[in-house]
Amino acid sequence: MEIRLSVMLLALLLLCGATLSASHPRAVSDRERQEVAALAELEDQAAHARGNLDIARRLTTTYLRLGHPGLAIAAVRAAPIELARDPLLTHRLSQAYEASGRVEDALGTAQLAVARCAALGACSYPTVATLEMHVEALTMLQRWGVQEPRRDTRTALAYRLAQRTARIASLGVATITAD
């Protein structure tokens, strides 16, 4: 009887061991390693060159692309005030708020980015169109009561409609300038 019990316990332990050894953590791919290394380098550059607008833009863009909107928000907030006034950096802040589910903050910040473009007069037409399209999409999201833009299917619809509006507006500008 004791031998049977011992054999059954041993078999159970071997089965548990086999199950645990089969569930190894996922290995990090070379691409992920490269992204982490590039991000670390970019963060170092940002720390050493706090006044560099290009680095601040690239850092926030990278954070957003990698799915870290909170870090993008922190990076913009930590930037010197003269950089934080940049329309494109303000736009990245708006995107980070949106990715964080803060639609009202995203909309207000997107409107601020458009206003800064107008005040500086330094934004190209495609940049202004992109910023205005973002405001339009966020306005729809707010009107529809979207709380989690990343998970709500209405987000894609809002962007399609905003993009359509931007195309129609650009056609109108082309018609006006052609006359």
**Cα radius of gyration rounded to whole Å, the chain:** 25
Burial pattern 67-97, b for ≥16 Cβ within 10 A else e, equals ebbebbbebbeebeeebeebbbbbbbbbbbb
Residue pLDDT tens, the chain, 179 long? 667 655 555 555 555 555 554 444 555 578 878 888 889 999 999 999 999 999 999 999 999 999 999 999 999 999 999 998 999 999 999 999 999 999 999 999 999 999 999 999 889 999 999 999 999 999 999 999 999 999 999 999 999 999 987 666 555 544 444 44
User: Whole-angstrom Cα distance, residue 69 to residue 72?
Assistant: 5
Can you tell me which residue has the tokens 């990278």?
62
Beta-carbon contacts of 173 under 8 Å, excluding residues fewer than 6 positions away, are 125
What is the reported pTM? 0.76
User: Whole-angstrom Cα distance, residue 23 to residue 46?
Assistant: 39
Q: What 8-state DSSP symbol labels residue 79?
A: S
CA dihedral of 35, 40, 45, 46, whole degrees rounded to 10: 100
Instruction: Specify whether the CB–CB gap between 60 and 93 falls below 8 A.
Output: yes
